[in-house]
Structure 1
Amino acid sequence: MRTIMIMAAGALIVAGAMQLTKASAEEPIQRTDLVQNDIDVPGHEAVQVRVDFAPGTLAPRHHHPGEEIAHVLEGSLEYQLDGETPVTLQAGQSLFIPSGVAHSARNVGNGKASELATYIVAKGSPLVVPEK
């Protein structure tokens, strides 16, 4: 009887984990916060986030209250910064985005694309500010 209960509990845990994986896999953009820490610049902090894009997904125009360095981990991402020609980056390439510059990013590859976004931003401000 004890063996049956242990097996049933294990099956429930596996089923629950599969549901969590399925739910998160359906999100077009997933953000995973990695680091958030004060820095020596008064009133500012460093924030690092992994952003995963489903195929064809667009992160609409937005800006940040500080600088961003976007490093493509996998796939192909097209960045459109206001006033600039769009640029497509492949895995291993990086882009500097100045403070307050509106921009968008789109997964232009066939599979998932991911970036490591590092921000130096004003502490206490919203990290992402949508553009209207």
Structure 2
Amino acid sequence: MTTQQSPAPTSQWATNSPVEQAFFLLRTVFTIAPIAFGLDKFAGLLTDWEDYLAPWINDLVPGSAHQAMLAVGVIEIVAGLAVALAPRFGALLVAAWLAGIILNLLTMGEYYDVALRDFGLLVGALALALLARARHSATGR
């Protein structure tokens, strides 16, 4: 005898539900923030991004630290767009990217405060991935 699981109630995904609102907030921030930070790698308005690149990573990548940060900017823009278009996968991409940033910062022996902040963001990205997967299962969106 097989048991049939009942589908997740779609009422939790109603437009005004707290679950849907949490999904919308997380999806918005993990779309906008990576795109904004990625664009700033080209504009340099927020900070000198090269200061945050661990020397051992700079030694691994071809070119200068500035060129590496431009590549990072492109990756961040792509990650933000992935969250906007496919949050189930984009959120995991952002989480993995944040893990890489944390590793970079910890191995520098500096910017522990930024690494801790990015850990919080990583947890938020994982929460978005979980919500997106549940939402997709319940609604097909």
* Structure with greater strand percent: 1
Question: Does TM, scored on the shorter chain, surpass 0.5?
Answer: no
TM-score by length of 1: 0.31
